[in-house]
Structure 1
Amino acid sequence: MATYVIGDLQGCLTPLMQLLEQIQYQPEQDQLWFAGDLINRGSESLETLRFIKSLGSKAKVVLGNHDLHLLAVSYGHGKLKKGDTLAEILTAQDRDDLMAWLLQQPLCHYDSTLNTVMTHAGIPPCWDLETTQSLAKEVENKLQSDTVDEFFATMYGNTPNKWDDQLTGSDRLRTITNYLTRMRFCDENSALDLESKEGISTASKGYAAWFNYPSKIPNECHIVFGHWAALEGITQKKRIHALDTGCVWGGSLTALRLDDRQRFSTPCTINRKNS
């Protein structure tokens, strides 16, 4: 039995199937983790979502910003953007089942046996493991509540950009969500810069990649994340693993085998749709 963490799919089912063949995936034995952004930009978003859902308990998923964007649009909040490939999902016969399944997925997954924690964008320097799990759960509880519509109505936005335990209501949930699904750069006080999206060298003055600050996560715990294709899978940190290698942008799709930290990748073989 092996556990593989796979980076951002973004609607690229064909490369995923090629990657699973490469690692000789055994459905009855192996487990797959997906680091969020299952859909959008790639041309197989609907098929990708259906496949991951069909894996049932053999898949562990955390929500990414594109997954939340799909949900927000489905609830009537937010609009489809140029380049989005979500229309096919939104008009699918099984749309409601797919949305219900997405709403049940967490923002953080931790496995104590493998001593590994996964979120889509990473973990800010100001949070320890217990805090991360607890705050992620606050958003998850809202997503699975009767008032989920309120969350999507106020989800978008870059403020507040710094964590404060005293935050309440929509500001609190938006800030947690931004840390876990949109973070790249922050300052020494974990204040976010959500405008800069390129490589580490493009950081604004006073900001750096979140993983270049001292972490409150135990040293023996590994962190796996996606979201940041410009890193090309490199953090220079032995226990912090970037897995978005830009498949949808013509890069590759990457899997990390947690049992021995070996990486596998397959080139992109699918075109990105433009709209």
Structure 2
Amino acid sequence: MTDYAIGDIQGCYERLMDVLDKVDFSPSRDRLWVAGDIINRGPSSLESLRYVRNLGSSAVVVLGNHDLHLLAVALGGHGLKKKDTLRDILEAPDHRDLLAWLLQQNICVHDPQRNFAMAHAGLPHIWEVDKAMGLARELEAVLRGPEVATFFRQMYGNEPSCWRDDLVGMERWRMITNYFTRMRFIAEDGTLELTAKESADDAPDGYAPWFSHERPDDVRVIFGHWAALEGDTGSERYIGLDTGCVWGGKLTVMNLDTDEKIHCDC
């Protein structure tokens, strides 16, 4: 069995098939770790979502901001945005099953044997990996619990901007969500800057890329989300797999045992 991790698919189903063909991926023997944003902006969100869902136990999935956006539209009453390509999912005969499946997926996963964690946007340096996993489980319980609609109605927002252990309710859940699914630039004290989306060299004053801060543990981090990086973090410890497929870049998978990266052009 070979385990592969893949960056943001974003509805690019044909390119997904191309890159999996390149590594001779077989769900009967291999496993795919999906770093979030299965859907949206690309032409085939429904096919992409169905494919990953149908992998069953051969997929390990963390949710990205676009995956959560679909749920916020469906469950929280938010409208579709101009560039969204989600209507085919919302109108599909199996849309309830697809949404229910998404709600059962992870916010962050940790493989202690390989010593890596995977979250869509990454891991903030203010949380060591065990604390991060505990907070991920806390948010996952909200997504699977009776307050899920309330969460999605109020999910959007940039405040609070910095973690405190005494945060409660929606402010706590939104803060956890933003670290795991929207983070790019962060200050030393953990304050997020969520408006800048440029390359790592263009950090706003007082902020730096999240992976440039010293962590309290030695865990490796696999993430997606930041296409402007083109996969380059300058460190073998922080593995960016969003190489901008939906923007005409590449779709990247990585062999988790050899660290070999395989691409297909998009």
Q: If the TM-score is normalised by the length of the shorter chain, which range does it land in?
A: over 0.9
Paired residues for 1:10-89 under 5 Å? 10-89=10-89
Q: Distance in 2 between matches of 1:78 and 1:201?
A: 34
Q: Distance in 1 between matches of 2:248 and 2:88?
A: 22
Structure 2 residue 195 is matched with structure 1 residue 227: no
CA RMSD, aligned part only? Answer: 0.8
Paired residues for 1:182-261 under 5 Å? 182-216=182-216, 218-219=217-218, 221-261=219-259
Q: Distance in 1 between matches of 2:101 and 2:50?
A: 10
Q: Distance in 1 between matches of 2:168 and 2:13?
A: 39
Unpaired runs of 5+ residues, structure 2, are: none
Q: Secondary structure at the match of 2:5?
A: strand
Q: Distance in 2 between matches of 1:186 and 1:239?
A: 18
Q: Distance in 1 between matches of 2:15 and 2:245?
A: 8
Summarize deviations over 1:222-244 as a string: whole Å, max 9, x none. Answer: 21000000000000111110000
The match for 1:271 is none
Q: Distance in 1 between matches of 2:56 and 2:26?
A: 14
Q: Distance in 1 between matches of 2:118 and 2:261?
A: 16
Structure 2 residue 17 is matched with structure 1 residue 2: no
Summarize deviations over 1:10-69 as a string: whole Å, max 9, x none. Answer: 000100101011011132211100000000000000000000000000000000000000
Q: Distance in 1 between matches of 2:210 and 2:123?
A: 8
Structure 2 contact 62–120 (Cα < 8 Å) conserved: yes
Partner amino acid, structure 2, of 1:239? R
Paired residues for 1:119-134 under 5 Å? 119-134=119-134
Summarize deviations over 1:191-221 as a string: whole Å, max 9, x none. Answer: 00000001012211111100001012x32x2
Q: Secondary structure at the match of 2:252?
A: strand
Q: Secondary structure at the match of 2:198?
A: coil
Partner amino acid, structure 2, of 1:228? W
Structure 1 runs (4+) deviating above 2 angstroms are none
Q: Distance in 2 between matches of 1:27 and 1:238?
A: 28
Range with greater deviation from structure 2 (77-86 or 205-214): 77-86
Q: Secondary structure at the match of 2:60?
A: strand
Q: Distance in 2 between matches of 1:145 and 1:156?
A: 19
Identity of matched residues, %: 51
Paired residues for 1:90-105 under 5 Å? 90-105=90-105
Summarize deviations over 1:174-194 as a string: whole Å, max 9, x none. Answer: 000000000000111110000
Q: Distance in 1 between matches of 2:106 and 2:258?
A: 25
Partner amino acid, structure 2, of 1:78? H
